[in-house]
Amino acid sequence: MTARIFCIANQKGGVAKTTTAVNLAAYLAAAGRQVLVVDMDPQANATTCLGVDPRTVETSVYDVLISGQQADEALTLTAHVGLHLLPATQDLAGAEVEMAPIIGRERLLARALGSLSGRYDYVLIDDPPGLGLLTINGLTAAADGVIIPVQCEYLALEGLSHLLRTIEQVRDVLNDRLRVSGVVLTMFDGRTNLSQQVVQEVRKYFPHETFHTVIPRNIRLSEAPSYGQSILSYAPGSAGALAYRALAAEFL
Ligand code: ADP
Ligand code: MG
């Protein structure tokens, strides 16, 4: 098999990139797929959310990008059958600077994933906030496109224009297969007009890309990371869990 590779990106922090990467991955694995999550954020939230303590990680995505370690040496098991992790550690905070002088610096992740792609059905790359080299590496490796989570709490489209421009530039120069393959509306609160407005605005702008499934604001989703668990492990009956399960079904 050849993995389908997606990155989860939005330069804004706190829009549910990591929540979406981890929980979508958990439900894809539960549906019998072989899935890899790549944590590209120095905050290592995806690593923590999948139950791995970054302080105990010996070989991380940093070593793969910067020190030329084989990606399979960094593969880490998770509590979910069929779900592996390329973990991040704090080392990654220095990576942007260390990558800068490397020739092919935008393609380091793409190259590293090449050796793994036969093992997985899906690779989900959790990009950090911002549009620096780590994010660009994620976009360059995303052969099957980018999934953009949009928080239903801000008028979001203005913030997206910079991301969309970056996506175009990466497509022109680094990854001609890059496209917006999905937009996920997150943290929806049906009681507010603003949430409704964002949904309408985003659906109008991305009529084909926006998932029908909308992720509601749900307290269980925000609790699960403290327990190092996906929502599937932590609260499988919660509204947040049902939403991510539906998202995974729609994604498949
Ligand atoms: P990002 O990766 O884009 O920075 P996160 O996935 O870390 O965003 O989410 C930001 C915060 O919002 C986290 O504390 C997370 O637990 C919380 N969160 C994400 N999605 C939801 C949701 N649907 N309902 C409630 N809290 C959420
Ligand atoms: Mg994150």
Which tens digits make up the pLDDT trace of 70-123? 999 999 999 999 999 999 999 999 999 999 999 999 999 999 999 888 999 999
Q: Ligand 1: distance of its center to the CA of 154 in Å?
A: 14
- For 12-46, how does the pLDDT look when each residue is reduced to its tens digit (9 = 90+)? 999 999 999 999 999 999 999 999 999 999 999 99
HEC states along 106-127? HHHHHHHHHCCHHHCCEEEEEC
In the chain, pLDDT over 90 holds for what percent of residues?
92
For ligand 1, mutation pick of 10, 15, 19, 238 (most atoms within 8 Å of CB): 19
Q: Indicate left, alpha or beta for 143 from its phi (over 0: left) and psi (-120 to 50: alpha).
A: alpha
Residues 6+ apart with CB under 8 A from 204: none
Q: Does 154 score more than 90 pLDDT?
A: no
Q: Which residue, among 44, 50, 77, 38, has the nearest Cα to 227 in the 3D structure?
A: 50
Q: Ligand 1: distance of its center to the CA of 189 in Å?
A: 14
Radius of gyration of the chain (CA): 17
In the chain, pLDDT over 70 holds for what percent of residues?
100
User: Does the reported pTM lie above 0.95?
Assistant: yes
